[in-house]
Structure 1
């Protein structure tokens, strides 16, 4: 939607904010929620502006945790942040709904109406005014138009999708346990398309949780004979973004677990009974997860006349401003940000989103006051991958002459968990993090270690 929307009768036009500079942040993911929380606190101390956060969900969950939700090893309710409560506690406004258009001439964001499961309207279509706009709506699964992928494969973009996969997994086990017929070949097989961090972590996690589920008196299911995890990667190795020695270590570990790893295997079609590879081979699977690629949401394609790339990312300069409007910024997975010294842009990683939020927190005040903005410089501190409770591996960078070195075991696992604690601290502060960790540790002692419903 590129035409003016401020006077469109289909939209309820919210009034402009009366106090100071109004910053609207679209997207409550890792970068958006961190920026909204800390910028509103900054404005409260200085009395210089206000913040409104827009999101189509009501709660936030750190996206790298979605594979654990899907596998059933994590209860999302213990980790979700309620946007309304967060806004109340930290002095910003939250508006529930999805961005569907942008009117740059009148500085307004168009939001779609929202409805409940009974098709009753919750919030009307409306437009939100801004002085400065920050777009941080993340990424969605890119199935590259593979036939059947959108219909039969489950993506892992949202908490609801992760919960849906886990319910289907539990239902498949219950069905196999109670059906009159023998368990058929492929009935309890899971095919994961894409061996990046999400796919690889999910494969290892599922190996453990499926066995824990059937241990609850599902004695008809024989884990080693009936349950199979297949990890399919189009490229030559798993974890292609990490150094080859880490990829090789992860590959050996997955194979030793019993995960069926297929590399150089491009998926040509997904069906209700499994997948078909480009080689012609068919792989039977009751459940298929698509984790093979990402793109920015389709709504960003030329939104408001802004420049986008082939995967819908907003093209930004080194200061995170969009190339055609200095009052519109973008960060996180939905932004194509230059990476000095590299031919590729800043990678879509959690550490990049955190760094960009921290950068804008410092620089938006300069923008508001008409002062120069310092350019953003991405620092790659390496990558960590957790393979369930079994193993955590990765490489760290930037500490010794810019060189990388391998970490694994307790140190790697501690650092992996620390990344999430840093995000929790940025959003909730030290006191809330302490009590939430304490509460989760106590509840896990009295409940099953895996979701059973």
Structure 2
């Protein structure tokens, strides 16, 4: 078992998503570089993809092999340690977390099950899809919680197109239909992205497929409108664009079963579809529920105090999608958004430094800067907060797209710094002209 340096305060971060990786990088660049503490990031994946971009991986407009951040390289560059493994348990008395064994693609064990000691623990394990007990979801639908799921959906999509082109009989009903269940940001953005990329796939020589006749995308939402968590004006603009593209948008539609050949709705209707994406809700991982006495919400999130420490143990922080905190400004839970994860990671960096010097911690205050929804190359819509007190500024089109892209640049800058991000942006613009417009494998 690996034993950390006992002379240094050991900070363990469980989860390498947006919040966890940004926190590990910033702590490594400060406390780790200065030998003031030892930082360890625990994550079951080898590489990191910004979660708001998983719909692009699924649609084929982002290549994981090119855009992913390698944890080992990031750790080496920024003075923290990366240990592969998925957190499965916690021992607060001994201050240890338990990791499951990891395996390669052939089923060979890479690392054994083991325990990692900590002095301060930050849990940032993110969220997973919530199927609400709907029959058939686990068997016949794909969620987009991880890069593996997004890659698997894209490969399945391309294979279905190649199979349909090669088969002697005509394309059957539902064979090339995609039903997306859940019209939040992920589902809505995926619908628009797929409308474009599926036509690019067909254009690469699959001329036996007629996009207007054989392809169909259906977006299903149980609420009265799509994008229920964003302002109504933003949702209306997105709905109008999707419907103008010919995407079948169904609201107030509750799914009761997912089958191999399609989706059954509560009103008795059936949507033929052999490709189904479940994006209808999120919850924290099941292993967090009542983990070693920590308080959790009904969605398995760890309930935290205003300082982002768990209510039962001040040595444990929780940030990102797996943390539950009521925001005092609006008396609502802090939403599971990338901007919240970014703000919490930045806040905890300062609080851990205060903690190591014995100073009291400051409370976290979430600032909502608005919502942006990318509809691929067609448009971007959203609202920005903070320009006029109590009101948001509705934006769309090119300016909104620039703002959306700037969110990812902020994440990249937190990981790599401005200089490297600028060089990478120039390099991608040059190489884009020599690559296919959509990933074909």
* TM-score, normalised with respect to structure 1: 0.96
Q: Among 143, 149, 154, which residue is 2:131 paired with? A: 143
- The aligned counterpart of 1:353 is 341
Q: Among 291, 299, 323, which residue is 1:303 paired with? A: 291
1:321 aligned onto 2:309: yes
Classify 1:44/1:101 alpha carbon distance in 2 versus 1 (closer, same or farther; 3 Å): closer
Q: Among 396, 401, 417, which residue is 1:413 paired with? A: 401
Q: Counterparts of 2:406 and 2:247 in 1: how far apart (Å)? A: 28
- The aligned counterpart of 2:30 is 42
Cα deviations by residue, 1:404-437 (Å, 9 ceiling, x for unpaired)? 1101111111110000000000001122212222
- The aligned counterpart of 2:176 is 188
1:434 aligned onto 2:422: yes
- The aligned counterpart of 1:119 is 107
Q: Counterparts of 1:449 and 1:153 in 2: how far apart (Å)? A: 26
Q: Counterparts of 2:298 and 2:40 in 1: how far apart (Å)? A: 29
Q: Counterparts of 1:367 and 1:419 in 2: how far apart (Å)? A: 30
Q: Among 156, 162, 175, which residue is 1:168 paired with? A: 156
- The aligned counterpart of 1:287 is 275
Where structure 1 has 5 or more consecutive residues not aligned to the other structure, the ranges are 1-11
Q: Among 429, 435, 438, which residue is 1:447 paired with? A: 435
Kept in 2, the 8 Å contact 1:78–1:440? The answer is no
- The aligned counterpart of 2:42 is 54
289-298 vs 303-312, greater mean Cα deviation: 303-312
Q: Among 238, 249, 256, which residue is 2:226 paired with? A: 238
- What is the number of residues matched between the two proteins? 441
How far the C-alpha of 1:353 sits from its partner, in A, is 0.2
Equivalent positions of 1:215-230 (< 5 A) are 215-230=203-218
Kept in 1, the 8 Å contact 2:219–2:249? The answer is yes
Kept in 1, the 8 Å contact 2:387–2:393? The answer is no
Cα deviations by residue, 1:69-95 (Å, 9 ceiling, x for unpaired)? 101111122211000000111110000
Q: Counterparts of 2:46 and 2:295 in 1: how far apart (Å)? A: 29
- The aligned counterpart of 1:33 is 21
How far the C-alpha of 1:45 sits from its partner, in A, is 4.9
- The aligned counterpart of 2:380 is 392
Q: Counterparts of 1:154 and 1:396 in 2: how far apart (Å)? A: 32
Q: Counterparts of 2:135 and 2:50 in 1: how far apart (Å)? A: 30
The SS at the match of 2:333 is coil
The SS at the match of 1:171 is helix
The SS at the match of 1:172 is helix
- The aligned counterpart of 2:140 is 152
The SS at the match of 1:367 is helix
The SS at the match of 1:437 is helix
How far the C-alpha of 1:343 sits from its partner, in A, is 3.5
Q: Counterparts of 1:170 and 1:120 in 2: how far apart (Å)? A: 29
- The aligned counterpart of 1:178 is 166
* TM-score, normalised with respect to structure 2: 0.98
Q: Counterparts of 1:79 and 1:340 in 2: how far apart (Å)? A: 37
1:24 aligned onto 2:12: yes
The SS at the match of 1:416 is helix
Q: Counterparts of 1:202 and 1:138 in 2: how far apart (Å)? A: 20
Q: Counterparts of 1:146 and 1:385 in 2: how far apart (Å)? A: 27
Cα deviations by residue, 1:105-133 (Å, 9 ceiling, x for unpaired)? 11111111111122211001111111100
How far the C-alpha of 1:172 sits from its partner, in A, is 0.8
Cα deviations by residue, 1:221-252 (Å, 9 ceiling, x for unpaired)? 11011100000000000111111111111111
RMSD across aligned positions (CA): 1.0
How far the C-alpha of 1:170 sits from its partner, in A, is 0.6
Q: Among 36, 60, 67, which residue is 1:79 paired with? A: 67
Q: Counterparts of 2:387 and 2:311 in 1: how far apart (Å)? A: 33
Cα deviations by residue, 1:153-188 (Å, 9 ceiling, x for unpaired)? 000011111111011111111111010111111111
- Runs of 4+, deviation exceeding 4 Å: none
